[in-house]
Every structure is written in structure tokens, then in C-alpha cells.
Structure 1
């Protein structure tokens, strides 16, 4: 494989690894937020109306920022009827063809995310709740996560192409 492709795969893997490991901690932040909210409600009868929305935002950031890392680790959900019976080169050949469905989906998702983020920034879009947080920050994070997943999908394509050709990308 050309050096530029190896460099691309290495850098995308490294960036998604850092982002994914950072995003893993969002679950802990969400858990402590829920515990704090429950404690304050039980002990002092203080209710935080923003906690559920914060958890939704954190969960969205968690799975979209962690998507590229999940793809890198090959730990995403896969319908495995025949796939596990095939050898590595056969899997790579099938993945080379089918990964373009994921790329098309992610491109449309990215275009929608960019449009939605632009709308949120221009119109100061807020959620329709009592807390009414601005939606632009979470939309920026979501669009960035989709973009990183798209980059990781292309890195996976190059890795599968190398495997199908009997070469190593590393």
C-alpha cells in the first residue's frame, strides 16, 4: 500500500482512539450526575430539571464520538450468518463492497448534521423545555462524531483492501 494511505490509516486510528477513550468517560459523568440528582431530590427535595437533558446530550456525544473507535475495534453490531465462517480475505472482499453502503449513509448523515448545525448556530436554536439549552454545541459534537466515523470507515476500507490484496497496512 502507498505510504500516504498507511499514514492516513495510522492517523485516523490514533485520533479516533483518543476521542473514543475520552468519550468513554461520559458514561461515568452521566452516572454521577444521576446519582447527585437523586441524592439531592431525596435528601433536600431539590429537583434538577436539566439533568435528564444533560444525560441525553452526553449519551448522544458518547455514542457518536465513540462510533469511530468502535468501528476501529470491530466491536460494532454485525449480522453474522455466514461472516464468521469465511476467512479473513473473503471477509475483506465482502467488506470492500458493503462498506460503501456505510459511507453513503454517513455522507448523508454528515450533510444533514452540517445543515442542522448551521441552522442551530444562525437561529440560536434552543430545546423546547423549561431549561431551554442551546442546541448548537451538541449538534457540533454530533456532526464532528459523524465526520470522524466517516474517516474511520474509509480507513477500514483501506485496511480491508490491503487484506484482500494479501498485504499489510501496518
Structure 2
């Protein structure tokens, strides 16, 4: 019961992050073209578009990473893995998940440190129009926490597969 509610919540969060990521891609496309138009056609460069596009790209990686992981969209080296049974795939996934847990642990730990420092000093971009950086730095460890939840969800499914012999 709790597991199904947990799975549903994670699915909703991942889908929402995917939607936000897709909207950020549209933002980057629209304002990227606008910046080029302003710079080269009107000879009037923007002072804020470049910085906001950079921030949006960081957010795209955060949002899109969780969404892609949830949907199994990361590129894999399927040379051998593709031919494995569901149980062997689950065993390989369990073995490699230790590296994922370590990476996400460090990302959450150091990302939180960086976000707290950025908030403490009210960090902004060093441009003529200071744009706050701390919101973006805060999203990084939060998104890593969501990815960790997805990895835990997949880890539990892999353990079930190894024990029971087939994926649900």
C-alpha cells in the first residue's frame, strides 16, 4: 500500500519535472533566437538573456535527468546487457547502483553546501543586471534527491526481480 503510494508520488514528481524541463527548452530556444536577433540584427545585445539561458540549461539537466531516468531514456551500452535475462539485468543494475548511490550522495551533500553558501551570501551573477544564482543552486540538490528516490524505487524493483525471478 505504502509502496504504491510512494511509486505514484515519484511518478507524478518525475512527470512534473519533465514538463518543467520541456518548458525550459522552449524558453532557451525562444530567448536564444531573440538574443541573436537583438545582437546581430538590431545591434543591441541583451544583458540578461545569456545568464538566464545558462541557468535554464542547468535546470534542464536537473529536471530532464530525473524524467529520463524514470523513463529509462539514458543511453546504455547494450552490447551484452540486452541479451541478459530479466534477473541478470537486475543483478547488474543492483551492482552498478552502488556507484549511483555514491554519486548522488556526494551531489546532495556538496550541492547542499554550495546552495546554503549561495543563499548566505545572496549570490548573484557578476553582470550589469545581477540575477540571483542561489535558486538554481538550491534546485540541484533537490533534484538529486528526486533522482535518488527514483534510483531507490528502481533498486527495490531490481531486488524483487532477483528474489522472485521476473519484473512486475
Pairwise same-fold verdict (TM > 0.5): yes
Gaps of 5+ in 1: none
Task: State the Cα deviation string for residues 26-71 of structure 1 (Å, max 9, x = none).
Answer: 1111010011122222342210132222111111101111211111
**TM, length-normalised to structure 1:** 0.88
List aligned pairs for 1:125-164, cutoff 5 A.
125-164=123-162
The worse-fitting range, judged by mean Cα deviation, of 122-131 and 99-108 is 122-131
Answer whether contact 2:51 2:125 (CA < 8 A) is retained: no
Which has the bigger relative contact order, CA under 8 A and spacing at least 6? 1
TM-score normalized by structure 2? Answer: 0.89
Secondary structure, aligned partner of 2:130: coil
Q: 2:58 maps to what in 1?
A: 60
Q: Which moved more, 1:149-158 or 1:36-45?
A: 36-45
Pairwise CA RMSD: 1.8
1:166 aligns with 2:165: yes
Match of 1:7 in 2: 5
How far apart are 1:90 and its partner, in Å?
1.0
Alignment of 1:77-96 (within 5 A): 77-96=75-94
In 2: Cα distance, 1:158 partner to 1:8 partner = 12
Q: Provide the aligned length of Structure 1 versus Structure 2.
A: 167
